[in-house]
Structure 1
Amino acid sequence: MFTKAEKTKQFILETAMPLYNTKGIAGVSIDDVLAATKLTKGCLYGHFQSKDDLSEQVIDLSLRKTADQMRLAVYTAKTAKAKVSAFLDFYKDPIQTPIPGGCPIFNTAVEADDSYPLIKQKVAATIKAGQQELTQVLEEGIQNGEFSAKLDAKVFAFKLVAAIEGGLILCRALDTAAPMHALIKSLKAELNQYKP
């Protein structure tokens, strides 16, 4: 059971998450969060030491939530090929994302690059963990005979992540999911070339 204070803190984080994902760390003000939560400044600062503290915790939550949702989609699949397919399909709609504003991993990575070194490290850790997991899935596929040993799991995992993240931002800028569908189809076809 959560205490009332824990529930309030979680409410603040959940409410602030779409604000941060659409406006960015620098674009969100404490007043924005207060207006969205309808809480007082005293209440907000009872849970967070500063805007930086709030920002870090909101970003932690959004990165964790995105990674958890993706893992849930991937790890319900049984085979390595189905897991890679589930990973790709998770990103098939770049316009209607689970957290409004697009992919929090990409959004935060771009903004944190030079301005927020601690947050940049958190994003880097999330990206590395995702690539390692995808690499392991591909390696499992090689070991169990789904994919040929010619497949370089590490390079292909990087390619998948880079293509999907790039596709997300381009599709959002163009306001269409169609290129993402074509990209996913192409990546799946490329992976199929590694059948033993």
Structure 2
Amino acid sequence: MTKGENTRKYIIKKSAELFNQRGYAGSSLSDITEVTGIKRGGIYRHFACKDEIALEAYDYAVGIVNEKFTEAVDNQQSAIDKILAIFRVYEQVTEHPPFIGGCPLLNTAIESDDTHPELRKKAQKSLERMLQYIKEILYQGIQNGELKPNLDTDALATFIFSALEGGIMLSKLEGNNRHMQFNIESLSKYLEQFSLQSS
């Protein structure tokens, strides 16, 4: 990797951390130069504008979180354990989030709802991918004879992801992980009704 490529990656990484903590609208180009230590001219050598940085920074942040999800899920055997592993990535969200600032999808979805169409499209794509990821875990559980065959994977995936994002938001807002922990415990009990192992 060339020096220029390394510099570009560094700008994306530091900007992703900045945007995920302060928001896109709350971060200026001056803030980017401050966190990177790179002057405006150096930033503009790699990016045409803040928008371009924001789109790549979002992809970077989501990529880091997705890696954590994949690693957590791959270490589990059953479908229910895989779902709960996704939640445990954010179990200590107030002190040890998988990416600094919390959930990039949640943060971006809230901020970009009416203000940044391109970022909103990115968040929508992430939502689609996450719902599909959860549905595939559930479907595999059905195929493996772990979960009931009449399970509505669409509805359950939406419920699961809503519980995840809601738990993150409440815990971040209150500065206490108890909401994520409540949701993990409640979801664990709720999912048991769909398990053939406990029937």
TM-score, structure 2 as length reference: 0.93
- Write the distance in 1 (CA, Å) between the matches of 2:67 and 2:127: 13
- Write the distance in 1 (CA, Å) between the matches of 2:163 and 2:133: 17
DSSP-derived class of the 1:193 partner: helix
In the other structure, the counterpart of 1:175 is: 175
Contact 2:23 2:107 in 1 (8 A): yes
- Write the distance in 1 (CA, Å) between the matches of 2:91 and 2:150: 27
Deviations 1:140-189 (A, max 9, x none): 11111111123211111110101110111111111111121111111011
Provide structure 2 residue ranges, at least 5 long, that are not aligned to the other structure: none
Contact 2:14 2:35 in 1 (8 A): yes
CA RMSD of aligned residues (A): 1.2
In the other structure, the counterpart of 1:137 is: 137
Contact 2:168 2:179 in 1 (8 A): no
In the other structure, the counterpart of 1:10 is: 9
1:114-153 pair list within 5 angstroms:
114-153=114-153
AA at the equivalent of 1:106: L
AA at the equivalent of 2:175: D
Contact 2:24 2:54 in 1 (8 A): yes
AA at the equivalent of 2:100: P
- Write the distance in 1 (CA, Å) between the matches of 2:31 and 2:135: 40
Following TM superposition, by how much is the alpha carbon of 1:16 offset from its aligned partner in structure 2, in angstroms?
1.5
TM-score, structure 1 as length reference: 0.95
In the other structure, the counterpart of 1:110 is: 110
Deviations 1:68-97 (A, max 9, x none): 221221123233222112112112122131
Following TM superposition, by how much is the alpha carbon of 1:32 offset from its aligned partner in structure 2, in angstroms?
0.6
Provide structure 1 residue ranges, at least 5 long, that are not aligned to the other structure: none
Identical pairs, percent:
31
Q: Tell which deviates more after alignment, 82-91 or 33-42.
A: 82-91
| Pairing 1:85–2:81 present | no
Following TM superposition, by how much is the alpha carbon of 1:190 offset from its aligned partner in structure 2, in angstroms?
0.7
DSSP-derived class of the 2:94 partner: coil
Contact 2:147 2:195 in 1 (8 A): yes
In the other structure, the counterpart of 1:188 is: 188
Contact 1:63 1:123 in 2 (8 A): no
In the other structure, the counterpart of 1:40 is: 39
Following TM superposition, by how much is the alpha carbon of 1:5 offset from its aligned partner in structure 2, in angstroms?
0.4
- Write the distance in 1 (CA, Å) between the matches of 2:141 and 2:52: 41
AA at the equivalent of 2:178: A
